[in-house]
Structure 1
């Protein structure tokens, strides 16, 4: 064996592909893969979109599903199965990004900013996928 498979995308299911892609594009400062940008006018019926970083490396993808049951975390009824972790350098950045995340439509699930070793927030994105922002 000469190598290993390489991760191309982390794909999030959603009932609103453009809406969820826009949430993460704005939250993380990403760009659309060329050809995935919103159309200037007309209906947006995207069923698959990819966001990249400034060097064109794929970061997140979004695929359309008919139905998506939101996790009930921290209750175990519907487990989260996957979550995304994002870091910031300090507490002030954490407070700034907290305000941005809420302003973009994230739902706060857990505030653990009183933890002296690893202050963090846990959110649900607009589709219900959990993600964390913490001081790394």
Structure 2
């Protein structure tokens, strides 16, 4: 599976751990994130991830910033993107099962690196349940 990842200055260590995990599982990574802790603007790293998922260059996206909010707001501006801000593995699973989320947003300042890796593992391996949830998901995108 091909997965796009992007992060600002709050997430280089998170990205490193997540990428190592994903590569160990045989996934291909498209890296749009910074490797520096010097202050940068999260939209510069979120938009490329959203474009990769939107254009189906990547199956899923992972975005990371301090709170997870700003970068989630950024990627959710793109058509067909359903980014979910997740801080527990249960929310990551539900985001996929009920919302067919295609990008996970991780709040680096409020989760640990092991939690983030676990959330990603669950996110990419959980299927959308469809059924009653499909009608709701169909109503998300603006026309």
TM above 0.5: no
Judging by fraction of residues, say which structure has more helix: 2
Could you say which structure has the larger radius of gyration? Answer: 1
Judging by fraction of residues, say which structure has more strand: 1
TM-score, normalised by the number of residues in structure 1:
0.30
TM-score, normalised by the number of residues in structure 2:
0.29
